Amino acid sequence: MKQPIGVIDSGVGGLTVARELMRQLPKETFLYLGDTKRCPYGPRSEEEVRAFTWQMVNFLLEKNIKMLVIACNTATAYTLTELQETLNIPVIGVIEPGARAAIKFSRNKRIGVIGTEGTIESKAYPNALVAIDQNIRVNSLACPPFVPMVEDGILSGPKAEGIVSNTLQPLKEMNHIDTLILGCTHYPLIKDLVQNEMGSHIQVISSGEETAREASLILAYHKLLEKGNASPVHEFYTTGDIEKFRLVANSWFEEPVRILKSVQIEHVPSSAY
């Protein structure tokens, strides 16, 4: 029996990481849990984020996962170390992989970070960047409107463009970064809007690809890579509105979801934790 990999997020944003994981690890089975009912996590206290994250983790541990991917920057900032020290399975987050990717692409060592209030206040990205290269200069900006916009499926059009333009204006006025980290896994769903607003001279980084690469390396190191040839059956869970979740999932996965007809999206009430 295949042992799955668990992926958790505060909502639909982690689907951007899950898609990259599935692309790079096509033999693996994934269980995705998005806490859409209590999203966004950004404005919440560290204690709330830690409690909610542990509830999601415990739900997936009952399904015998072999690895946990925290596809939420806020949850990564507040719980990664604790989870790594407590659980007996590999646990990875999205912040360090994103930081490494940004440093790789930056030419002038000036990097911007956009994220939720919680992620920005935690200073997790500046700490991760400077830990790698002390010469890096970081400009951070909290973007509270972005997660609700994505969760509501507002991914394009004049309304979305207006929200993105107004929110990013303070960062544009700084005008010296050459690389921008999307410090929330919801943001790749509006990456084109962000790119258009910031300009083609800015390298926009999402952490999904680097996170998936790290997951593959860790699985190989622990000899946990799936070797069978049976097609994986992924499961998607949400604590909130099933149809809204399904709509975003289908729009993001597009062809892979149509091919994987066995994908299941189930409702998980918060009380079930």
Mean pLDDT of the chain: 89
Cα Rg of the chain, angstroms: 18
Residue 251: other Cβ atoms inside 10 A: 14
CATH placement of domain 5-94+209-272: 3.40.50.1860
Closest CA to 211 of 37, 1, 51, 8: 8
Task: Please pick, among 184, 204, 248, 268, the residue that the annotation labels catalytic.
Answer: 184
User: Which residues are part of a known binding site?
Assistant: 9-10, 41-42, 73-74, 185-186
Question: Taking the model in full, what pTM does it have?
Answer: 0.86
What is the share, in percent, of the chain residues with pLDDT greater than 70? 92
108 has a pLDDT exceeding 60: yes
Active site residue 143: no
Confidence of residue 260 (pLDDT cuts 50, 70, 90): very low
| Helix count and strand count (H, E) for the chain | 12, 10
How far apart CA 158 and CA 175 sit, in angstroms, is: 24
Average pLDDT over residues 211-219: 95
Please check whether the domain covering 96-206 is classified as CATH 3.40.50.1860.
Answer: yes
User: Which residues are part of a known binding site for substrate?
Assistant: 9-10, 41-42, 73-74, 185-186
Instruction: Delimit the domains of the chain by residue range.
Output: 5-94+209-272, 96-206
Strand order of the β-sheet with 235-238 is 91-92, 67-70, 5-9, 30-34, 235-238, 264-267
Active site residue 39: no
Do 5-94+209-272 and 96-206 have matching folds? yes
Element (H, E) at 214: helix 208-221
Closest CA to 263 of 238, 227, 229: 238
Distance, C-alpha 206 to centroid of its chain: 9
Contact 268, 242 (CB under 8 A): no
256 has a pLDDT exceeding 90: no
Task: Please pick, among 60, 72, 138, 168, the residue that the annotation labels catalytic.
Answer: 72
